[in-house]
Structure 1
Amino acid sequence: MKKTLLVTGGAGFIGANFVHYWLKKNTHDRVIVLDALTYAGNKASLDSVADNSNFEFVHGDICDTPLVETLLSEKSIDTIVHFAAESHVDRSITGPDAFIETNIIGTYSLLKAAKKIWIDVPKASGRDPLEHRFHHVSTDEVYGTLSATDPAFTEETAYAPNSPYSASKAASDHLVRAYHHTYGLAVTTSNCSNNYGPYHFPEKLIPLIITNILNDKPLPIYGDGQQIRDWLYVEDHARGIELVLKKGRIGENYNIGGNNEWANIDIVNVVCQLMNQAFQNDHELAVKYSKASKAIETKAQELITYVTDRPGHDRRYAIDATKTNNELGYVPVESFETGIVKTVNWYLTNDQWWHSILDGSYRK
């Protein structure tokens, strides 16, 4: 059956990759992106689908409930995939207000609009509620932190968020659950591990390391660099969400992970090695990226700089995706070895995209 999706935050990193994936795999469906284009939203990330007749972009805020209601009604939207969120932990520590506004109030706004258009309005007219799905994209950070020997997070792990970011996402998860149990809204939630891949905003670890190497800038490592994360290639995340939408049980949570735990310092060293190899194998890169003196010398690791750890830094996250695998058949396609090579090559090739972010011109 043909679907019409509203993808919130679709100009952000994961949202844009999901839009690309969905339009490629589900060619008859319509996709409408709603994005406020805050600092991490970049409309250029959607340029490759801009001419697709099944794609539409709407510049707007998820906190604008009347706008969301109008879109749901006038566009006959039956599925919301909710990515829109403030997501950078450092920013949540220095400025938590935006995280409360977007992640909690914004999610509440969407839920209110969905309930009204999909359930309340039809019932007031004596009709059955419309067929619908509200899928909420969350994070493994809501579960807190793990020691080196703790088992990975499952869907039954108690919530224990440690940063304003993760606390705001936990609150939004609970609101989604409540709207299902109280009002009958057809919801699903997925909790993912750290994503990486194309269109990743350069303040996050992997793109920061790549772009700093290309500009011969220090590679900042928090504390001892032994914080462990499970890394998930972004298209595998999109594939997992597709499975949840098509096969997932209403009201359920599904963990989506990469089965791929790495310490931060090891990630940085791998990226440095790949950048060294790239410059060694392609001498034209030295012309294109003339500032990258350490990579040109195949000594990118010399840029590594240890800095003071951030407050309350969680030590380890790890996802157990057994439920998602058993119920939905989810298995990551990319290994880290293949995914990180694709990611490095994408940044080396798409310098115009990330240069526009670093110089601020993408906002003009």
Structure 2
Amino acid sequence: MLIIILYFFIVVVAIQLSYYLGVFGKFSFAKAQKTTPKRLSVSVIVCAKNEEENVVNFIPLLAEQNYPDFEIVLIDDASSDGTLDIFEDFEKQYPNIRLVKVQNNEAFWGNKKYALTLGIKAAKNDYLLFTDADCYPTSKEWITAMSSQFTMQKTIVLGYGGYEKIANSFLNKLIRFETLLTAIQYFSWAKAGHPYMGVGRNLAYKKDEFFNVNGFINHIQIRSGDDDLFVNEAATAKNTAIAYAPESFTYSKPKTKYRDWITQKRRHVATANHYNTLDKLQLGLFYCSQLLFVILPIILLSFQFRWILVLSLIAVRYIAVWIVIGFSAGKLKEKDLKYWFPIVELVLIFTQINIFILNTFSKPVHWK
């Protein structure tokens, strides 16, 4: 039995190395990205529901972007706080702001996709750039950096949406590591010619792509997924580019309570269940191999079975992963995280098991 477990462990290590070196290395070892400005008319779209504290601070950062031709489409999704009042003040203050007021609709009550659809239709420009109401760009060149990746063929651009750093917070490191690992995956698969997701905190596409797949209609009944389910359906090897120059990043305020973060991740995991079959298989294989990489050597080492070989395999895998994570973290300005690997990785693996169990027995709550 132990020899079978050993062979199984060798296969698991090979799978992990294939992912990290064969796939994720495509992004990790890629050259730094250069930004070449393009003269495209861009509509920045922000959908907000009860976000008065965030929009009052972040919308001015969007309005002050250093870009010659852009509008901001602000969508108020039937907020019950002061969000709409703030939006109306911004509309008077900035001539390039367009306001879309969404009323509760019995058929689409509380559905962000319905609100976004109204905003997309109201946008006057063909190139759309999305971010969330609790996000802000890292520089005044954000629109320039994201739109620079559009070409005649590349009409979907995947960007990086990170989280602010909080000193002396392990939860913050865990959140940022999970975000980093997710970005490594969707950037790498896109570079490999198989894009499967993007994040609404930083995503751009041409309006034609939205209408080519009839908008969100094929997953309108799923409250979440206005970003990743759309990309999963619309993105191809030919039409998708990635933006990872530092000027293209956006940041959000992270959760500060473990329970709140778990609730957020449960929504994300539940949405991933609606990806196409091939994407679910590749994600499932990756996460299963991560878990087995932790469990199998514990069994083997507890019996001291071929312990030199087992430890060697562990060392090879950790060195390879640390290198890939380190280079990627450098590109995405998350260098401090590489010093916490593999501690945060181990915690994340068991957190994902917890989320899987929770989602099995209850449905997560969506949109506000």
Does TM-score exceed 0.5, indicating one fold? no
Specify which structure has the bigger relative contact order, considering alpha-carbon pairs within 8 angstroms and separated by 6 or more residues.
Answer: 2
Report which of the two has the higher share of helix. Answer: 2
TM-score by length of 1: 0.31
